[in-house]
Structure 1
Amino acid sequence: MRQLINNFSTMLCSSLLCLVLAGCGGSKKLEFQQAAVKGAVSYKGAPLETGLIRFIPDTKPVKGQVAGKMAFANIERGTYSIPVERGATVGVNRIEIISNRETGKATQIENSLVKEVTQILPAKYNTESTLSVDVKPGENTQDFNLD
């Protein structure tokens, strides 16, 4: 009898595991289109030397998921480029641009000296971004002239 209960428990656990791994067979991966984006970024009239730009899909959730994914690129000497393989989601995207500079101060943490950095761009371009663009299929050029 004990062996029968153990066998039944093993079969039940195996069946539940298969259902979880298979996703119960009813869910489908959401499809979204990506596009290449490149451009220039300037701040107060000069090219932004270094930074990071993020394209965050501004879409309504479908079945609890955002229909797209965030894309990002480094900004170097005032330009950025995101190839289609890592591209921005087609449609409206919220834009965040970050650029940190060293303050000249450092803090000793354990056995390392960590340089202090500060964000040079106003929050309206990153944490409280008011920037957005409508990414189209194919190649996109989007410049940002920040004041």
Structure 2
Amino acid sequence: MLVASEETPMNLSRFYIYLVFGICLILFTACGGNSALEFTRAQVEGTVNYKGEPLEEGLIRYVPDGEIINGQVAGKPIFAKIEQGKYQIPAEKGATVGKNRVEVTRYVEAGKQGNMSGGKAELVKQIIPPKYNSHSILSVEIKEGKNTQDFDLK
């Protein structure tokens, strides 16, 4: 039970200051601070076909897969929307130059399921085989400048 007193507002505000400070400290150290490895980004565009047809919509993800230095790989994973079988990633948000693993995902509705609150939750399923996403066998070399990467998934 919380008893109101004149000290309660001060204790709460001090608590929130420490909480915010702690979160900032965690975020700073988790983001690598000054120890992050340098990397270069590049523009990437292309097409994605699935079973011989342009993939209507989905996501493509480029994940840096280069040399590990001090437990880190230089670069950051990036996503792009696939629409009507095409995707485009501008250089400022681009893929990391070097070797990248590529993942393609496409979720579709798979019905509805009742939940404990009596409502219905939409179910979705992944239609792209795991060998192209969660266990991707797709790998490309990204070079500086403009890159075109087309994928024909079966």
* Shorter-normalised TM range: 0.7 to 0.9
Is structure 2 residue 107 aligned with structure 1 residue 100?
A: yes
Distance in 2, matches of 1:30 and 1:40, equals: 30
Number of the residue aligned with 1:8? none
RMSD of the TM alignment (CA)?
2.1
Letter in 2 for 1:35: A
Deviation track 1:19-39 (CA, whole Å, cap 9, x = no partner) reads x9xx9xxx5442100001011
**Which among 34, 39, 56 is matched to residue 41 of structure 2?**
34
Letter in 1 for 2:66: T
Structure 2 alignment gaps of length 5 or more: 1-24
Q: Which has the larger radius of gyration?
A: 1
Aligned counterparts, 1:14-25, within 5 A:
none
Number of the residue aligned with 1:121? 128
Letter in 1 for 2:58: G
How does the TM-score come out when normalised to structure 2? 0.73
Number of the residue aligned with 2:75? 68
Structure 1 alignment gaps of length 5 or more: 1-19
Q: Secondary structure of 1:101's partner?
A: strand
Deviation track 1:22-67 (CA, whole Å, cap 9, x = no partner) reads x9xxx54421000010111000110101111110011122122211
Offset of residue 75 of structure 1? 0.8
Runs (4+) of structure 1 exceeding 6 A deviation are none
Offset of residue 113 of structure 1? 2.8
Distance in 2, matches of 1:84 and 1:132, equals: 19
Offset of residue 112 of structure 1? 4.7
Deviation track 1:108-138 (CA, whole Å, cap 9, x = no partner) reads 3436532111111111101111101100101
How does the TM-score come out when normalised to structure 1? 0.77
Change in CA separation of 1:89 and 1:108 when aligned onto 2, cut-off 3 Å:
same
Deviation track 1:83-130 (CA, whole Å, cap 9, x = no partner) reads 111110001100010111112x20234365321111111111011111
Aligned residues: 124
Q: Secondary structure of 1:39's partner?
A: strand
